[in-house]
Amino acid sequence: MRTSCDVPRAGVGRRRGHAVARAVAVAALALAGAAPTQADPRPGPAERAVAATPSGAVDDLVLARLAALGLAPAATCADEVFVRRAYLDVIGTLPRLDEVKAFLRNQTPNRRAALIDALLQRDEFADYWAMKWCTLLRVKSEFPINLWPNAVQAYHRWIRTALRENVPYDRFAHDLLTSSGSNVRVPQVNFYRAVQKKDPPTLARAVALTFMGSRAEAWPKERLDGMAAFFARVGWKTTAEWKEEIVFFDVTKPAPSPTAMLPDGGVVKLTPRQDPREAFADWLVAPGNPWFARAMANRVWSWLLGTGVVHEPDDLRPDNPP
């Protein structure tokens, strides 16, 4: 499965998997260094006197930028520092003493990449990163979201399973945007229930913020209205089950216009029987779409390093430079 964030995981070549996991691996390897500096180049007690060696495309870009600025990369952190950082950033816990000792005894050249790969396979990775995604996707039982307990449990389980099973990020996002069904039996439809209003502009703003890192309320009105057309036929209906709600493509709702405008200015012709969410999701996750890849890379970087390449991570716009 192709993803628009096709970054190779450390130590496993170009195997395609969940883009989030790959980004975690790349960024965690980057944590081997600190901020670039022109200070005393001699390594401190928590650093190693080794040359900066790129281990992937991200390192190539960073080192090229530092060279253009005339800055030397920071010294590589010592193994004792790296093992602590890797555990905290990948699985959210400190390593046990025996795990630290085992890592320090390992003198193979690829031990850092191997450690990250091993951490990505642990249940704690899915647990920890599911919490991050649950915050982003507004997985909340009570006010102001009111998904209620059954839907929250199902939604959380679906997110955690996607991380645990290495679901590609493009498929993860596409499912969230296009699924229909019961909120407790098709958990991903809770994406549309976890917004405070059900009108198309509100749905469009939620999609732009989550998957494009863009605050659509600042867009020109015609641009937001054009994107809102893709979500104008989302319907909701209750059932006899407690707090169950069906999210579906409502063919009885009239389309606001025969066309809808994509955020990049492209125009899509809408047919009466086609769910317009499908057309938008296909555009969003298409290889090469910069909105999708850029937003995810920036968000994961902010989760790992405390600030995005662009800050805030959901405020990507031309006048907010890196």
Per-residue pLDDT of the chain (322 residues; tens, 9 = 90+): 333 333 333 333 333 345 556 555 555 555 444 444 444 455 566 776 667 778 888 889 989 999 999 998 888 889 999 999 999 999 999 999 999 999 999 999 999 999 999 999 999 999 999 999 999 999 999 888 889 999 999 999 999 999 999 999 999 999 999 999 999 999 999 999 999 899 999 999 999 999 999 999 999 999 999 999 999 999 999 999 999 999 999 999 988 888 999 999 999 999 888 999 999 999 999 998 999 999 999 999 999 999 999 999 999 999 999 8
181-182 and 245-249: which strand pairing?
antiparallel
Of residues 280, 276, 194, the one with CA closest to residue 236: 194
Task: Give the model's pLDDT for residue 58.
Answer: 86
Instruction: Tell me the whole-structure pTM to 2 decimals.
Output: 0.85
Amino acid identity, residue 153? Q
The pLDDT value recorded for residue 20 is 59
pLDDT score, position 52:
72
Phi and psi angles of residue 98, each rounded to the nearest 5 degrees, phi first: -65, -30
pLDDT per residue over 274-300, tens digit each? 999 999 999 999 998 999 999 999 999
165 cis-preceded (ω within 30 degrees of 0) = no
With helix as H, strand as E and coil as C, how does 51-93 read? Answer: CCCCCCHHHHHHHHHHHHHCCCCCCEECHHHHHHHHHHHHHCC
Per-residue pLDDT tens digits for 101-133? 999 999 999 999 999 999 999 999 999 999 999
Q: Give phi and psi for 70, each to the nearest 5.
A: 70, 30
User: 47 - beta bridge partners?
Assistant: 77
Alpha carbon distances (Å) from 148 to 152, 245, 277: 6, 11, 25
Report the candidate in 35, 29, 45, 30 with the shortest Cα–Cα distance to residue 80.
Answer: 45
Every domain of the chain and the residues it spans: 19-121, 125-289
